[in-house]
A and B are shown apart, each in its own frame.
Chain A
Amino acid sequence: MTMLIVVIVIAAVIVVGIPILIYNSLVGKKNQVLNVFGSIDALLKKRYDLIPNLVSTVKTYMKHERGTLTDITELRAKAVSGKLSDDERVDLDNKISGMLGGIMVAVENYPDLKANQNFLQLQGAMNEIEEQISAARRAYNAAVTDYNNALEMFPSNIVASMMRYERKRLFEISEKERENVNVGELFKSE
C-alpha cells in the first residue's frame, strides 16, 4: 500500500514539477533578452556622449567634412532627445554609425590630426565602444536565439504557447546598410 502512495507522490511531483521548471526557464530566457537589450541602450548612450568631444576635436582640422560633422551633431541631438519609436531609434543609430565610420576613414587624409594625442585617445575610446556595442548585439542575438529555441522545441513549446509567448527578432542590418557605404558620397554634401 505504501509503495503505491510513494509511486503516486513521485508521479505527481514529476507531472507538476516539470512544467514549473519549464515555465521558470522560459521566463528567465525572456528576461535575459530584455536585460541585454537594456545594456545595448546604455552602450549606445555612451557612444552618443563621445560625439560632441569628437566633433570639437576634429572640427578645426577637417575642413572638408564640415557638413557631415554638423549632420552628426544634429542626429545625435535627435537620438538623445528620446522622443522616437523603437524602429526610428534603430534607423537613426544606423545612420550615425555610417557617418562615424566615414569620418574615421577620412581622418587618414589629415596626418596632423592622426598624430594629435587627444584624437588618438578619442579614437581608442570610440573603437572600444564600437566593439562593446558589437559584443552587446552578439549577446542579444544569442539571448534571442535561446529564447526562440525554447519557444519552438519540444516540450517547452507546449508551455510557451500556453503563456502566449511570441518569437523575437534578431538584430539585423537593413538591406540598405548592407550595401557598402560610399564614403565619397558621404562627404559630397558640403
Chain B
Amino acid sequence: MKMENKNNNNKNNNDSFGEIRKGFSDGLMYSSGKNENIVVLCADLTKSIKADEFAKTYPKRFFEMGISEQNMLMAACGMTSNDKIPFALSYAAFNPGRNWDQLRNGACYSKLNVKIIGGHAGLTTGPDGATHQMLEDIAITRVIPNLVVVVPCDEEETKKATIAISEIKKPCYLRLSREKSINITSKDSFFEIGKANVIDGGNDITIIACGICVGFAINARKILLSDHGISAEVINMHTIKPLDENTILESVKKTGLVITIEEHQINGGMGSAVCEFLSDKYPVKIKRLGMNDSFGESGNGYELLEKYGISTDKIVEAVLEMIKK
C-alpha cells in the first residue's frame, strides 16, 4: 500500500507500508502449523496483537489469561515442563514492563523456552499516550542473561523473526510496533538472529537503526547522498542481544563515525548497547538518537516521532553536524 506524504519526512512518497503485527500473526500461524507444541497465552489483547487467527484455528492451544501479565508469564514458564513452546502476549508496557521479575527469575534464570511478545511498543502507539508507549523495554530486557532480544523493522522481517524465535530453544523477547511501517525487506532478504543486515553500503558514516527507524535511516541516506554527497552505511540491527559485534566493527573501521536511532529512550537502548561495545573495542564518535529521557504524550504516531526528534530529518541534521566537526 502507499501512504500520502503530509509534510512528514519520515514518510517518503515512494515508500510502501506494511503492518508489523500482521507479520507476527503470519509467522505465528506458519510456525504453529509446523510445530504443534506452540501454545499462545494472551492477557485480554488477543485481537489487538493479532493472535485471533491462532485462537480461532487452535482453540485447544490458546489460553485466555485475563488481565494478569505476571501470572501469564509464569504460567507460560510452567507449560515448558509439559514440553510446550509458549508465546506470552501483551503490550510491551506490561509484558515485559509489568512482569520483569517473572521474566528474570522465571523465564531467563532457568533458560526456559518461552517467547515474550511485547506489542504496541514505542512512541507510535500514539493516541493512547505515555502509559502505553513503552520506551524502556530494550533497556530492561537486554540486561538479563540468557535472553534474546529482537526488534524487527517491517512486516516481512517480523514474520521471519517470529518463525526464528520459535525455532531456538531460548527465552526470547520480540518487540513489535503498532503503527504501519515502511516496507524494507522482502521474502528473499537474509534473516538470522544475531546477524545484523547491512542494507546500504557507505564509507563516511555508519547509521545503525532498529525497528521502524530502519526506514528513516534508509531515507536519510538517500538525502545525504543526493543533497550533500555523503555516503552513509545503514545497518539494520534487528537483534539487540546477542549484538552482532563483527558487523558493527567492520563498518566502523571503515567510517569512523556512528549514529544510532531507535524508537526507545536513548538511555539503555540499542544505541547504548552499541556504545558499550565500541567503547571497549574501538572507540569512535557516536551520536545516539531516540527519546531523550522523557515520557511521550497522546498524538498521531508519526507526528510524535517528529516532535520528539526520531526522524529522517534529525538523522540528516545529526550526520551533517558530525561530519562538519
The yes or no verdict on A and B being binding partners is no
Q: Which residues of B contact A (CB under 8 A)?
A: none
Q: Which residues of A contact B (CB under 8 A)?
A: none
